[in-house]
């Protein structure tokens, strides 16, 4: 089954404790991206990747890192999480190196930073 898999689905942690949210897709998509969803703000793009080893900042990259060492994986790293990063996070992938095709989204990861 074609899918985007995020882990964990839920995480409660404390300020400053490094965490990684994994994202994996099995559709051989070039484009992958991370979004955060906050009430009243919609979905905002954090980082995106057009292909292996090619990443760039979205609209809200502060406090996040990403890597794309393999085509299927695009982890989101919070080196020193802070409470303002409490949010619902979505990973997505699509055909091609640009988001001109429909995005396939993961089920979301709800992060709470205390």
Name the residue nearer to other proteins (CB basis): 56 or 79: 56
Name the residue nearer to other proteins (CB basis): 16 or 96: 96
Helix (H, G, I), strand (E, B) or coil at 56: strand
Residues in the chain: 114
- 4 pairs with which residues across the strands? 25
Place of tokens 């995106």: 48
53 binds other proteins per the rule CB under 8 A: no
| Of the residues 19, 52, 88, 95, which one makes contact with other proteins according to CB under 8 A | 88
* DSSP characters over 51-66: ETTEEEE-S--TT-EE
Q: Are strands 87-94 and 31-38 parallel, antiparallel or unpaired?
A: antiparallel
Segment near other proteins (CB under 8 A); pick from 10-18, 19-27, 48-56, 66-74: 48-56
| Of the residues 33, 85, 87, 93, which one makes contact with other proteins according to CB under 8 A | 33
Most distant pair of Cα atoms in the chain: their distance: 38
Name the residue nearer to other proteins (CB basis): 69 or 102: 102
- State the binding string over 91-110 for other proteins (x if CB under 8 A, else -): -x----xxxxxxxxx-xx--
Cβ–Cβ < 8 Å for 23, 79: no
- The footprint of other proteins (CB under 8 A) covers 31, 33, 35, 40-45, 48, 50, 56, 58-59, 88, 90, 92, 97-105, 107-108
């Amino acid at each position: 089954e074609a899918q985007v898999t995020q882990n964990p689905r839920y995480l409660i942690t404390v300020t400053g404790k490094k965490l990684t949210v994994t994202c994996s897709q099995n559709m051989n998509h070039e484009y992958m991206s991370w979004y955060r969803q906050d009430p009243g703000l919609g979905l905002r793009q954090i980082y995106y990747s057009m292909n292996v080893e090619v990443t760039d900042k979205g609209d809200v990259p502060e406090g996040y890192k990403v890597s794309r060492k393999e085509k299927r994986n695009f982890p989101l790293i919070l080196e020193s999480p802070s409470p303002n990063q409490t949010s619902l996070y979505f990973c997505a992938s699509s055909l091609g190196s640009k988001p001109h095709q429909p995005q396939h989204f993961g089920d979301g990861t709800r992060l709470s930073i205390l």
